[in-house]
Amino acid sequence: MPRSKPARTSTTPSSQGRSGFIRLISGQWKGRKLPVREVEGLRPTTDRVKETLFNWLAADVRGSRCLDLFAGSGSLGFEALSRYASHVMMVEMDRGAAQQLAKNLQTLQSQQARIVNQDALTVLAGPSEPFDIIFLDPPFRRDLLDAACQRLEQGGWLSAEALIYIERESEGEAPELPANWLLLKDKQAGQVRYQLYQRELTFT
């Protein structure tokens, strides 16, 4: 049974703990390993799942604007940067994890990303800007997906045909998503369900 993931957005003293690593799979920093602050419960997206996701997005990442909510290790956001996304905004509430994201960004000498050390739902309730690709991998068993998805759709965070990636625990009820999000891909690895949606324009 996988560990729950509360630490992707919690602020705890364990943020000062040991470090692990994430590996960039492809792009300009292919094979590069980046340190990750080992926060209790943080579980970066596995290489297997990440490779599948970016195969799905192969024609869409370059030049795109990406929003990595509940960024945690930054595994998805940094992979998008490596594959030439034009801009990535990473939102992470845990201070230690956010500091590590900033250090990794500095190590890569990239000017194409911004780290926001704040609660994701608070960010989504504020001033918005449209993004082309959204990565949604919230802490397990916190019931954050419904609110995050509705705020993304209603708050002006999505470009006209934005792609939205959702990673969640496979057990439990499916989140209530906006009616105009079309399911493109749907897979499961162990007890993790991961899906890709595309926003459809609605006309009234």
Which residue is associated with the tokens 């792609």?
A: 163
Question: What is residue 78's predicted lDDT score, i.e. its pLDDT?
Answer: 98
pLDDT band at 18 (very low <50, low <70, confident <90, very high): very low
Range in 104-108, 149-153, 188-192, 199-203 with the lowest mean pLDDT: 199-203
* pLDDT at 15 exceeding the cut of 90: no
Asked if 112 and 86 touch (Cβ cutoff 8 Å), the reply is: yes
pLDDT digits (tens, 9 = 90+) for 184-196: 999 999 889 999 9
pLDDT band at 16 (very low <50, low <70, confident <90, very high): very low
With CA atoms as reference, report the closest residue to 82 among 135, 16, 15, 29: 29
Asked if 8 and 138 touch (Cβ cutoff 8 Å), the reply is: yes
Tokens of 24: 């960039």
Asked if 181 and 152 touch (Cβ cutoff 8 Å), the reply is: no
* pLDDT at 37 exceeding the cut of 90: no
Q: Name all domains of the chain by residue range, CATH numbers in brackets.
A: 6-199 (3.40.50.150)
Average pLDDT score over the chain: 88
pLDDT digits (tens, 9 = 90+) for 100-124: 999 999 999 999 999 999 999 999 9
| Number of alpha carbons in the 13 Å side-chain half-sphere of residue 67 | 22
Give Rg (Cα) of the chain: 16
Percent of the chain with pLDDT over 70: 88
Asked if 197 and 164 touch (Cβ cutoff 8 Å), the reply is: yes
Q: What is the pTM assigned to this prediction?
A: 0.87
Instruction: Give the mean model confidence (pLDDT) for residues 125-132.
Output: 95
Q: Reduced to 3 states, what is the DSSP secondary structure of residue 148?
A: helix
152's enclosing H/E stretch is helix 145-154
Maximum CA extent, the chain: 53
Helix, strand and coil in the chain, % to nearest 5: 25, 30, 45
pLDDT band at 5 (very low <50, low <70, confident <90, very high): very low
* pLDDT at 96 exceeding the cut of 50: yes
